[in-house]
Structure 1
């Protein structure tokens, strides 16, 4: 009985025999004020002994903010604050030139020899393009012009090519060659026809659906059945 009385005195806050360590580990502690707030540590308890009241911070209720104007809303793409310029402090906007390409440059050729090529392309006039090799005239191509540039690089369609070449005096080497059988059906090599021959050279002809001729190989461009455009 005396041991139980002694334990109650150690856990009684008003008893001179109060033992704080025993009260911390005991489950039978009776608080003088059951409504006293529970503190986390001694640093929160010490200010309360000096007369300072500690109250929990008030909980702010979430209120729905009015919808902001999307033009004035701050940008969320960057966390750094952006400087707000006045209208007279904004950078000067310089109009940019439209980008130029082959199609736009062809429309600008209204004078000189390129205007003739542009006219043949617009009016679908068949032309005869003479080309060269390293020693002289190689042959010519009859076709329609699809595109061109200032360097006389020509994109031709529906091409009928005719050229001369030296006769081959060597036999074809067939030993060790394998025939290609897995060729795609749309990949066809243009067939070459020999229309005339002499003792040294032969004249060849072939049809090509599309052909790109470099300007350094072009000698002259002549139109077939050309008539000048009507004057406006």
Structure 2
């Protein structure tokens, strides 16, 4: 192969010229750097072999910008943290733990307001009251007694109750008692039912007035029509 004189008079071969051009093409800092030749060449020498590879320019740009930001030095644990200077009117107000008030039937009776407060007065003074009762058709009768407990649904607990009501002379309803049950299959109860004595008084041909005395009674609020105090002989 023929020798070719170089610019300084030194003779170089064509292979050396090709090698020189290739080195310039794959040199990242050279003016003759050729990216396409660098991609296909196996003689590329990376400036930083341990550099982190990126998938695209956006990832490199993000990493590059992040490196420009100043890193905040972590404070040691022994160094005391700065405390904010509070003004007297900015200081936190000490709070007391609120104790939840227990609620039951007795506390609710004490807190009753409106018409229920009148029931509380009758209960505390043990004033006899008269309760007008109803059935599915209209007014059934009334009950008199002393109130011992109530709730917001007008359910009443009474003691010393005298119940008076009216019913038709020919009633279809009967009460089954233990005395009426005489069967070997159903054994008698140890304490048979002993209902109060019912006094009957005929008001008209088809109406009978019944009266009975009960020591204690619980009346549902849906049967209450009217409540008023019994004062003196009224």
TM-score by length of 1: 0.50
Equivalents in 2 of 1:102, 1:171: separation in Å? 35
User: Are 1:101 and 2:99 an aligned pair?
Assistant: no
Equivalents in 2 of 1:128, 1:169: separation in Å? 26
TM-superposition CA deviations, 1:121-179 (whole Å, max 9, x none):
0001000000100111000000000100111100011100000011226798xxxx534
TM-superposition CA deviations, 1:34-56 (whole Å, max 9, x none):
xxxxxxxxxxxxxxxxxxxxxxx
Equivalents in 1 of 2:181, 2:120: separation in Å? 46
Equivalents in 2 of 1:101, 1:117: separation in Å? 17
1:211 is matched with 217
* 1:129–1:171 distance in 2 versus 1, CA, 3 Å: closer
1:200 is matched with 206
Moved over 6 A (4+): 169-172
Q: CA deviation at 1:196?
A: 2.7
- Structure with higher Rg: it is 2
Equivalents in 2 of 1:189, 1:114: separation in Å? 32
Higher helix share: 2
Gaps of 5+ in 1: 1-91, 227-232
2:116 is matched with 114
Give the match's secondary structure for 2:117.
helix
Q: Residue 156 of structure 2: which of 150, 154, 157 is its match?
A: 154
Q: Residue 164 of structure 1: which of 163, 166, 169 is its match?
A: 166
* 1:196–1:184 distance in 2 versus 1, CA, 3 Å: farther
Alignment of structure 1 residues 77-88 onto 2, 5 Å:
none
Give the match's secondary structure for 2:106.
helix
TM-superposition CA deviations, 1:1-46 (whole Å, max 9, x none):
xxxxxxxxxxxxxxxxxxxxxxxxxxxxxxxxxxxxxxxxxxxxxx
* 1:122–1:131 distance in 2 versus 1, CA, 3 Å: same
Q: CA deviation at 1:201?
A: 1.5
Equivalents in 1 of 2:172, 2:223: separation in Å? 28
TM-score by length of 2: 0.50
Gaps of 5+ in 2: 1-94, 175-179
TM-superposition CA deviations, 1:79-137 (whole Å, max 9, x none):
xxxxxxxxxxxxx984331220010010112x421111111100010000001001110
RMSD across aligned C-alpha pairs, in angstroms? 2.8
